[in-house]
Amino acid sequence: MGKVEFAWRARVEDHELVRLTTAYGGVAKAGWWDRIRPYSLGWVSARRADGYLVGFANVAWDGDDHAFLLDPKVHPDEQRQGIGTELVAWCARYAKLAGCEWLHVDFDEPLAPFYFSACGFRSTPAGLIHLPSLEPAT
């Protein structure tokens, strides 16, 4: 991994997250970060020496003992260098410091080796409802 600086709760601009998300083909919505930041326990940013944002992960929580890893992203040009693993490690450390007992994560099946092998998550039973598929409430 080249020189990358990690920081907890450092300033991250919405336009930087839009740029990072679109870099790997993700769907970005302007204003997203400004809307959700107040609900976060914290976040980790990864920047090159020139200040360019190359990685990001957000931690939401229930205000008590459950933290949720959301939106981990690494710029495609910087992937497979340990940045994603380090982002997750920072999230876990800071969630623990905040008093959380559990860090949850959802992911698509192809990412299982990353989360289970590289990051130390373990598989647990979970449930999921795809809300857009629900019939409208009457």
Q: Does the domain spanning 4-133 belong to CATH 1.10.10.10?
A: no
CA atoms within a 13 Å half-sphere pointing along the CA-CB vector of 61: 22
pLDDT for 19 beyond 60:
yes
Beta strands in 2-137 (DSSP E): 4-8, 40-48, 53-61, 66-74, 102-105
User: Does the predicted TM-score (pTM) go above 0.75?
Assistant: yes
* Burial grade of 36 (CB within 10 A; 0-12, 13-18, 19 or more): middle
Pairing of strands 102-105, 40-48: unpaired
pLDDT over 90 at 5, yes or no = yes
User: How many C-beta neighbours within 10 Å does residue 103 have?
Assistant: 21
54-77 burial: b if 16+ Cβ within 10 Å, else e: bbbbbbbbeeeeebbbbbbbbbee
Spans of all domains in the chain: 4-133
pLDDT value at residue 2: 65
Map residue 98 onto helix, strand or coil: coil
Detail the DSSP E strand segments found in 16-52: 40-48
Angstrom distance (rounded) from CA 84 to CA 1 = 11
pLDDT tens across 112-126, in order?
Answer: 999 999 999 999 988
Mean pLDDT of the chain: 93
pLDDT of 49 = 95
- pLDDT value of position 138: 73
Q: Is the pLDDT of residue 11 over 80?
A: yes
